[in-house]
Chains A and B, each alone.
Chain A
Amino acid sequence: MTTLRLEKLAHSYKAKPAAPQDFALKEINQVWQTGGAYALLGPSGCGKTTLLNILSGLVTPSQGRVYFNDRDVTDLPTEQRNIAQVFQFPVIYDTMTVRENLAFPLKNRGIDTAKIKTRVDEIASLLDLTRDLDRRAKGLTADAKQKISLGRGLVRADVAAVLFDEPLTVIDPQLKWELRSKLKEIHRKLAVTMIYVTHDQTEALTFADKVVVMSEGEVVQIGTPEELFERPAHRFVGHFIGSPGMNFLPCVLEGTKAHIGQFAIELGAAYSTDAKAKIELGVRPDFVTLSSAGQGIPVQVDRVDDLGRNRIAHVRLSGHRIAVSVPSGVDAGRSDLTIVFEPSRIGIFANDKRLEPQAWRGA
């Protein structure tokens, strides 16, 4: 099986990094499958672009090796690594037609004209660019230009991975969705590895099979969109993914119950914890509901946001702010409201990391 392997990879932009915070990218070990759609997700400055530039060869890592299909490419220049990259802003050759743009990488590699023509036509039809082939690339819209950048990567038959660096930044909102599904479609047809850098969770979760969440130069979790949503491994993931993000409430554990102030919440499982650790209960707003039926924990409602499809109430539970969902039919204006937790969806975090529940040992 062909893979993309990162071994003890780390990078610092400083000449002599000493402290961990000197590293833009802290040590990572990863094996990614060829043909997968990966997204590197994280806020600005989390190291995702550094990682992408290491993969493309624009940055040489300060330590560690990069392997493409067991070939060590760490010291190879960009042009010798079979990769293509689509940048944040469309890069096209202004003076050339769309056809010349697409043919450019092949022409540079001395491939014969007839072969170039077939390949360009093939890729153009895949990208819906056939109609524009003989137009000047300069005059096209931003989304068409991004397709040309992608096309210049795809025409090369030897491309092992296509890297995307926030490619939808300058695309109109209604076209973003269209271009993103086009990318998925191409991924399915060509089975080429795609690595997509973004800070937009919607883009990452809809594009990728596996999302790599990064924070402060570290990979905090790799998982399917579902895993990231249901079982975030780190406080950061819970907070960063989902809108609004996961609620975190400091609590004290006792058996299978979590105590928040004077209230107890049933967890359905026990956790073994370090006495000194900071223990928090994490739950997504989707799994806490506002109720007017009387059971649950009484809260005060601060504000209700109507998001169209659903309503989110921001409430106060013994001093802590928490976002909860409001089922239809519940009047958020009442004064005797309570909230109800779904025990199976509650996570317990010790020092920001998720704990696995202990096996039930009986009373």
Chain B
Amino acid sequence: MGGVNVTALVVFVFFFVLVTAMGFLAARWRKAENSNSLDEWGLGGRSFGTWVTWFLLGGDLYTAYTFVAVPAAIYAAGAAGFFAVPYTILVYPLIFTFLPRLWSVSHRHGYVTTSDFVRGRFGSKGLSLAVAVTGILATMPYIALQLVGIQAVLDVMGVGGSESTHWFLKDLPLLIAFGVLAAYTYSSGLRAPALIAFVKDTLIYIVIAVAIIYIPIKLGGFDDIFAKAGEAFSQTNPATGKPRGELFSGPNNQWAYATLAFGSALALFMYPHSITATLSSGSRNVIRRNTTILPLYSLMLGLLALLGFMAIAAGIKLKNGQLAIPQLFENMFPDWFAGVAFAAIGIGALVPAAIMSIAAANLFTRNIYKDFIRPDATPAQETSVSKVVSLLVKVGALVFVLGMDKTVAINFQLLGGIWILQTFPALVGGLFTRWFHRWALLGGWAVGMIYGTVTAYNVSSPVQKHFGGSNEIIPGIGQMGYIGLTAFVLNAVVTIVLTLVLRAAKAPDGVDETHPSDYTADAGDPGVKEELPAPTAAP
């Protein structure tokens, strides 16, 4: 990799300083009188319109890790990595169906997190705790992977990463980036990532547009790129004795492809950070309108995935596939534009990391601190606890990245996806029906969590003894499929059976504090606007 790429580094630092300034100034943007409430710090005042929500959700869901990992998966094995495209296509009809209901009920009752809703709907602190803990556990490795994304960029630029230097100097750039991120999230809350997301996405769109035209021209067109990639994939991998990859999903991989796309689509909006971004929107229609414009990001993701093939055609040979795309930019682009591309990835890590830490902090504050430790906490206390927890969460992620092997973070991210999917029956089920029994939901959740974790642990690959992948034979179907989805089906079956049993046994139901009309309320309806911003006034 050689020395430091000075031009690229200067451009990178320029953009980094720019967004840092924006992060701190964001506190003054659309400021409300009562900035001490969790609604203000943690949900940006619940006032964002269509465009801010669009950037925020886009910044949130399409993270630096996505930009690095999706092409890296294509680079490693071809077609299988492209599942990200159908996955993000399916996300939007799902959002369209259930998130407006969550928005409405959350606005009427002042819910800040999904666990708030689950507690209100099923009257069960235990179930709400399960959802909160799952959310926090699933989010932590996700934040860690954002830092891995920044690290990949810094590595390719030649700063940090080299083994010979002192550990402190080696990680210093990452520590600085992290410290700055932590500081402006603390002071500005959700407004900081919302504002920075504008810069991030503008940069990303420019970089992709240039990359998708400029690189194929340099490499002789898509015909040549795919011919070379096909050749590379047909070669036998000595570790497995099978071809390295394929250009389209063969008959044996189609179940895996479809279940991975479907399972991931179901899981995405269970993540606390996507809910945080959704609840910050100003009206029900903002969410639905967004499902019609967010697919622009999916298109971008598809184009980005193609860069994986270009990395192969460009003759990039790396042990660590995660570096494939940064390395492709470094090799193909002039230095200054490589700097822009690296800045796009780097900032692309900061936005989601900020939102994720806010979301995890909100969960802790509302559903662990307030429910179990200090039930009489005031809104101002809640906000200060959330701010501190958002720092702790980030420190945890940093320790994770610096202290452990990167594969550990990736394994946990894999598990996180499986785990978070297990909250689907309680959350989405609860949005549409009150039929499920709270204890049955808890039982189904536990079964899904245990099955998913154990099965994922036992997947071995030629390079890893455990957590070798996210697919395993689906019992009863005999095809490879996404473990998370199998666990989810198991979870749903257990929930239904237990509900029948508990209803027959007349087990006591929790108190439902919501009303059917709560699920369709819109901004301006009685009880929606008036109640804000006093979210903690609920019973």
Co-complex (A, B): no
